[in-house]
Amino acid sequence: MNERPRPFIRMLIACLFFFIATTLYLLLPRYWHNIPEIIKHLLLVLSAIMCIHIMEYTFFWWEIFGHMKNIIQETLQPTNHLINENKNSLEKFLHTTNQLIGKAAACGLIDIYNSSKGVKRDVYDYIKNAKKRLWLLGIAHSEIIPFEELIFSFNEKISDGIDGKILLLDAHHTQVVFRTFMESPPSEIARIINTDRSKIPAFEPFFHQGVYSDFAHTCDMLRNYPKVRDTARFYVHTPNCWLIIIDDTAYFQPYSFGKDPDRLWANAVSGSHMPVFKFHLLSDATPFKIQEDHFLKLWMTSNIDLFHVEARIADHDRILKDIFNNHSWWFKQVYGILKLSKDKNNTIFDRRKFPRLSWKWDPLPSLHFFLEESKKTITITGICDYSREGLSLQTDNISGLGVGQIIRLQGTAP
């Protein structure tokens, strides 16, 4: 301890002396009847002095505690402000969350899955306990639950007598070629477009792409499960979703050709990048009923089963040839856009102000270029495409034509 006692110790000493002096002042006259007045005065003075010291130290500590309180308040003020702000933000967040949960519950939405692992386990559990129905849409090309993992459980359930329905994609249609382009690198798209189909090619690259390979593999599995085969139909629509309905619960994933350009995706399959929504049937909620009706409309309007598909597979070279004969102009436009129309952020942008369509009318109008300077006429041999802003023309003779040259287009209607 320091040589000079600290203020708190001095106050304790002053209290002790005050107590002793006051006690002696009160008790000594009882036992010492002839006590000198001077001693009584000294004890009274000592008590008064100690009382003054006690009051002094009390006010001193009162000031200290007051300053300490102010310092603590100033120190904690930003913290209190932050706590109040967080409290307000938390209250707003909880209010918004409660509103969102309430709206989701009113729609029958009971869960959302951001990853395929969570929904996979849940779907398997529900299939295992299915009692009434098991409807599957778009599962042949799904990255969530592969059909080969599901077909055995499905076969067991329909053997038990539940209502089983499977809607699968028929891969012999224009939209499947477009989807294949969306899921393939430009080099593969070029191979598919540039394949000569005037006669049956020795190697058809389209049949070796992911979509068609999954389709063929699914057909092979159906042949090995006759009961499952009889519950399967093939659609030619664009279903816009992946959908599984198990009893009164629906798992729904909207399809999208888009992807987040800032992420690296492990697979190129279209439509498998959105969350999966889980809905339950409620008497006053419509989303589940809409999905149920969506499935039934696709089911009722799909008139192809494995019997018809096998005939189409046997004739797939001719079917694909007809598809490319009728739509090759559009496929080439799609290829050009997917290959070239990307900015520095790898995002597709529109290079054309107005859409263009291929010219498909016969006979071709009689058209020619008239060069003002040389008075020369150049015959137009074909019209490639047209838009509201211009024509893309074909000619076998480009002599005399130059960039920025003014020409006149002349012709007569057919």
337 and 383 fall within a common domain: no
Between 304 and 103, whose confidence is greater? 304
Segment holding 366, helix H or strand E: strand 366-371
Distance CA 192, CA 331 (A): 10
End-to-end CA distance of the chain: 118
Identify the band that residue 404 occupies on the pLDDT scale cut at 50, 70 and 90: confident
203 and 282 fall within a common domain: yes
228 and 153 fall within a common domain: yes
pTM higher than 0.85, yes or no? Answer: no
The listed range with the strongest mean pLDDT (31-35, 306-310, 387-391) is 306-310
Inter-helix orientation angle 147-159/116-128, to 10° = 20
Between 376 and 308, whose confidence is greater? 308
For residue 48, tell me if it sits in a domain. yes
Identify the band that residue 98 occupies on the pLDDT scale cut at 50, 70 and 90: confident
pLDDT reported for residue 266: 54
pLDDT reported for residue 245: 95
Number of domains in the chain: 3
Distance CA 307, CA 346 (A): 44
pLDDT reported for residue 268: 61
78 and 163 fall within a common domain: no
Residue 28: is its pLDDT beyond 50?
A: yes
The pair of structure tokens assigned to 329 is 């102009």
Strand partners, 379: 368
pLDDT reported for residue 162: 94
Give the structural domain span for 406.
359-411
Between 48-52, 154-158, 348-352, the lowest mean confidence (pLDDT) is in 348-352
pLDDT reported for residue 1: 45
Identify the band that residue 322 occupies on the pLDDT scale cut at 50, 70 and 90: very high
Residue 62: is its pLDDT beyond 60?
A: yes
Residue 59: is its pLDDT beyond 60?
A: yes
Helix and strand counts by DSSP (H, E) for the chain = 11, 13
Q: Count other C-beta atoms under 10 Å from residue 360's C-beta.
A: 9
The listed range with the strongest mean pLDDT (1-5, 128-132, 365-369) is 128-132
Find tokens 């137009």 and name the residue: 380
Residue 323: is its pLDDT beyond 50?
A: yes
pLDDT reported for residue 104: 81
Residue 54: is its pLDDT beyond 70?
A: yes
Distance CA 109, CA 286 (A): 11
- State the DSSP string of 182-209: HHS-HHHHHHHHH---SS--S--GGGGS
320 and 375 fall within a common domain: no
- Averaged pLDDT, 13-41: 74
Q: Mean of the per-residue pLDDT values for the chain?
A: 81
313 and 397 fall within a common domain: no
136 and 62 fall within a common domain: no
291 and 370 fall within a common domain: no
240 and 279 fall within a common domain: yes
Report the side by side order of strands in the sheet with 241-246: 109-113, 276-280, 249-254, 241-246, 133-137, 163-169, 232-235
321 and 174 fall within a common domain: yes
238 and 200 fall within a common domain: yes
In contact, 232 and 219? CB cutoff 8 Å: no
CATH of the domain at 187: 3.30.870.10
pLDDT reported for residue 248: 94
Between 124 and 388, whose confidence is greater? 124
